[in-house]
Structure 1
Amino acid sequence: MRRRTVTAGNLEEILQATAPATPQDQPGPAAARAPRGNPGQHTEFEFELPRGYVDEDGTVHRHGAMRLATARDELRPQIDLRVKENPAYLSVVLLSQVITRLGTVGDVHAGVVERMYATDVAFLQDFYRRVNSEGHTRAAVTCPHCDGGFEVDLSGGRLGES
């Protein structure tokens, strides 16, 4: 499936193409990227982390992709022993299941999410909520100087870019 970054220019097109997911027999990311019956369905959203994940070699990884969550993704952490011992760990396990790509990191697992900066984890939690509950990555904001309201796309891009 082709990956596209959500922008203000293509948001309506992507929202129209995004339909509720159908039940899948296949677990994991492959099922999300290749939904049955609607190969054009947009199920993966690109993002850019505010700070970036720093790997063991000191390389900073900021660009990644997250797929839509399945019911299985939301249920699996409930039986994870780490989540049973510490319910706050649920978001770490859940994010590690739905992040399909993070820079050149080959395998995004719970240990990778654990080593992310708190600001990046908070960003990913909000991003997850937006794409899985609201179906988009936009956020309404207000300018602190002029009180003007507008929308920004949380999926990436630098401040001030169009």
Structure 2
Amino acid sequence: MQKQQGFTLIELVVVIIILGILAVTAAPKFMNLQGDAYQSTLSGLKASLQGANTLVYSKAAIAGDEKDADTTVQISSDSSDTAKITYGYLQNDATSLGDMLQIDTASDWTIVAGADLTKATVLYQTSSPYAAVGTGTPVTPAVDCHLEYTPATSTTLPIYTLKTDGC
């Protein structure tokens, strides 16, 4: 008679327990993929905004408008492509930012413009946790999953602030 070989019930239980411990340890590292995607997208948007501002400042400097507090600069050879600038950099209005970044503000992105030329403008993805707050205006406690753009002043360069703690 042949002796059958296999695993005992205790061996199987031990393997299942070990796999459970590994799953509990490794799963949290893969659970926040959506938050990482929001953070990466905001980082890309920040880099795009910085690049756009570099180009706009170059155009403003060529036109001699880099020291003007509130003017427009022609962006392309088409005379209708203009952007509002403040001290050579993009203003914080939704139209200029949306046009220069070429983002879809109708469905994908929301831009909440600053109250005046010195206030930060908030840019966030419409599907992000920031949008879940409702209007997109800052709340307490803050839901940080957005980019804040503060335009240049006569003494400072533009400020780009990523808020990604709540993504």
Bigger-Rg structure (1/2): 2
TM-score (norm 1): 0.27
| Larger RCO (CA within 8 A; separation ≥ 6) | 1
TM-score (norm 2): 0.26
